[in-house]
């Protein structure tokens, strides 16, 4: 690491909270020369966030440290020689899991990795871009890039997929690498069994001898004191000897009740990344990719229909695709829009019912702590106007209602007002991180 950048980070460490520092600034690689300091971000999203939130402060600190003005340049890429002439980092070699490695592990060691979950089969969108980049970095540099890497977010959004993809890539790069994937329940089960058979030493050896330990859904540890105690020691042992730890959780671990504070604090030592629900385009792309992998012929129109109507999570989307494929196969029919509507009528109706305009209005009012009647009123004060615009935009995004219908539901407003709200919110979400977080959080609440 550039010495100048290291000193800058040390200075910023005192000013920023640990999570922001680890999420946005630690992943940057740096190179400095007489022309200035060049920072390389792992992906465009990190780059934009750094530019928006931290660049001005970095420039100030750098000029304080050097005693003169120095240009700080930001770009996507890497400071290592792998960078191409254009400055863009060369993409990692395509992830092809060698079947012999994954399908026939050494008889003494079972990695439990699913060979189908790779980075190649993972569709990237804004909602998971950072998680994917982090999981990839960890696979390229286990034990050193981010340790632990914690992926958190709602159910069925791809956390397990990314975790396996990272493990598979580690094994692809080094077939001798011992990666152990377990669901939390399996960890608990192994521990109970070890206690029962008085073989705790063997249990400890098993978990501490791996190069990378991947544990899924650690919220399951909540309230299980002995498990947490044992996991805590395993964590420390692995961490100290720079063995990689990857964990997933269904929410930000600090919000998990009955998880020991010392464990929560350790989970924050590395990088925690939220995996958000995918947007419409990503949902459609995932569906087409899954259909392609399964050899099911699905048109873009059908993919768009499902992506529009099923917003809860990718697992539900995949379930719908499997149902369609099975029925189409059974009846020997192609999957047309009519066939999809007919076959999935009940499922689509359930998803449609889940989000209604009155429900959106109530949730948004609660979220911004304004009264529902004020949200629907004609008052134009800013504290009401923005939540109202968000509620209108969410109604357009999450329901099938037309612009005039939505306008009507918001105190008889014109459809152009609704259209304006949708455009304004979309624009703000692109540039304003806070607004995008609110938007994603509201979608999460509304779609469960």
Ligand X SMILES: Nc1ncnc2c1ncn2[C@@H]1O[C@H](COP(=O)(O)OP(=O)(O)OP(=O)(O)O)[C@@H](O)[C@H]1O
Binding residues for ATP: 156, 158-160
Smallest gap from residue 318 Cβ to ligand X (A)? 5
Smallest gap from residue 395 Cβ to ligand X (A)? 26
Please answer whether residues 151 and 246 qualify as being in contact, where contact means their C-beta atoms are separated by less than 8 angstroms: yes
In three-state secondary structure terms, 190 is: helix
Smallest gap from residue 419 Cβ to ligand X (A)? 30
State the residue for tokens 């009264």. Answer: 371
Smallest gap from residue 311 Cβ to ligand X (A)? 13
Would you say 125 or 270 has its CB closer to ligand X?
125
Would you say 142 or 278 has its CB closer to ligand X?
278
Q: How far apart are CA 134 and CA 254, in angstroms?
A: 20
Q: How far apart are CA 227 and CA 191, in angstroms?
A: 7
- SS3 per-residue string spanning 331-354: HCCCCCHHHHHHHCHHHHHHHHHH
Which residues share a beta bridge with 41? 76
Which residues share a beta bridge with 248? 151
Cβ atoms < 10 Å from Cβ of 222: 16
In three-state secondary structure terms, 77 is: coil
Would you say 123 or 169 has its CB closer to ligand X?
123
Name 27's Cβ contacts closer than 8 Å, sequence gap at least 6. Answer: 41, 42, 46, 133, 134, 137, 145, 146, 271
Would you say 122 or 231 has its CB closer to ligand X?
122
Please answer whether residues 181 and 167 qualify as being in contact, where contact means their C-beta atoms are separated by less than 8 angstroms: yes
Which residues share a beta bridge with 36? 33, 71
**What is residue 220's DSSP assignment?**
G
**What is residue 277's DSSP assignment?**
P
Q: Which residues are annotated as a binding site?
A: 156, 158-160
Binding site for ligand X (CB under 6 A): 121-123, 128, 155-161, 217, 248, 250, 286, 314-315, 318
Q: Which of 447, 437, 360 is nearest to 406 (CA)?
A: 360
CA-to-CA dists, residue 446 to 2, 158, 276, 363, 410, angstroms: 45, 19, 13, 8, 18
Q: Which of 294, 274, 284 is nearest to 317 (CA)?
A: 284
Would you say 125 or 407 has its CB closer to ligand X?
125
Would you say 25 or 163 has its CB closer to ligand X?
163
**CA 84 centroid distance within chain:** 28
Q: How far apart are CA 345 and CA 366, in angstroms?
A: 32
Residue nearest to ligand X (CB): 158
Smallest gap from residue 164 Cβ to ligand X (A)? 8
Smallest gap from residue 349 Cβ to ligand X (A)? 23
Q: How far apart are CA 168 and CA 41, in angstroms?
A: 24
Smallest gap from residue 91 Cβ to ligand X (A)? 17
Smallest gap from residue 282 Cβ to ligand X (A)? 7
Helix and strand element counts for the chain (H, E): 22, 8
Smallest gap from residue 308 Cβ to ligand X (A)? 17
How many C-alpha atoms does 175 have within 13 Å on its Cβ side?
11
Would you say 113 or 376 has its CB closer to ligand X?
113
Would you say 39 or 314 has its CB closer to ligand X?
314
Would you say 249 or 392 has its CB closer to ligand X?
249
């Amino acid at each position: 690491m550039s010495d100048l950048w290291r000193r800058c980070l040390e200075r910023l460490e005192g000013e920023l909270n640990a999570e922001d520092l680890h999420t946005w600034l630690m992943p940057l690689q740096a190179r400095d020369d007489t022309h200035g300091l060049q920072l390389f971000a792992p992906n465009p999203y990190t780059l934009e966030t750094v530019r928006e939130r931290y660049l001005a402060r970095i420039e100030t600190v750098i000029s304080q440290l050097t005693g003169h003005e120095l240009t700080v340049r930001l770009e996507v890429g890497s400071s290592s020689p792998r960078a191409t002439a254009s400055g863009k980092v060369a993409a990692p070699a395509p992830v092809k899991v060698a079947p012999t490695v994954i399908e026939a592990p050494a008889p003494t060691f079972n990695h439990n990795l699913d060979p189908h979950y790779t980075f190649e089969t993972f569709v990237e969108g804004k909602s998971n871009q950072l998680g994917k980049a982090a999981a990839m970095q960890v696979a390229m540099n286990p034990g050193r890039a981010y340790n632990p890497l914690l992926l958190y977010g709602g159910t069925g959004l791809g956390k397990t997929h990314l975790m396996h993809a990272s493990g598979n890539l580690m094994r692809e790069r080094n077939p001798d690498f011992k990666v152990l994937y377990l669901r939390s329940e399996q960890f608990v089960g192994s521990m109970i069994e070890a206690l029962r058979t008085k073989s705790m030493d063997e249990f400890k050896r098993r978990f501490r001898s791996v190069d990378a330990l991947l544990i899924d859904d650690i919220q399951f540890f909540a309230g299980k004191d002995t498990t947490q105690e044992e996991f805590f020691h395993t964590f420390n042992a692995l961490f100290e000897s720079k063995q990689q730890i990857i964990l997933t959780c269904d929410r930000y671990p600090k919000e998990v009740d009955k998880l020991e504070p010392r464990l929560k604090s350790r989970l924050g030592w590395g990088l925690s990344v939220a995996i958000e629900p995918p947007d419409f385009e990503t949902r459609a792309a995932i569906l087409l990719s899954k259909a392609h992998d399964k050899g099911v012929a699905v048109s873009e129109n059908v993919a768009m229909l499902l992506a529009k109507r099923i917003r809860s999570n990718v697992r539900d989307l995949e379930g719908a695709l499997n149902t369609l494929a099975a029925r189409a196969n059974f009846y020997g029919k192609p999957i047309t829009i009519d066939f999809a509507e007919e076959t999935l009528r009940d499922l689509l109706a359930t998803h449609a019912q889940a989000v209604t305009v009155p429900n959106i209005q109530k949730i948004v009012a609660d979220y911004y702590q304004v009264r529902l009647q004020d949200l629907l009123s004609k008052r134009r004060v800013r504290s009401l106007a923005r939540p109202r615009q968000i509620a209108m935009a969410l109604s357009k995004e999450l329901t099938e209602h037309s612009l005039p219908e939505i306008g009507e539901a918001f105190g008889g407003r014109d459809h152009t007002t609704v259209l304006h709200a949708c455009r304004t919110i979309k624009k703000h979400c692109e540039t304003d991180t806070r607004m995008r977080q609110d938007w994603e959080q509201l979608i999460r609440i509304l779609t469960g």
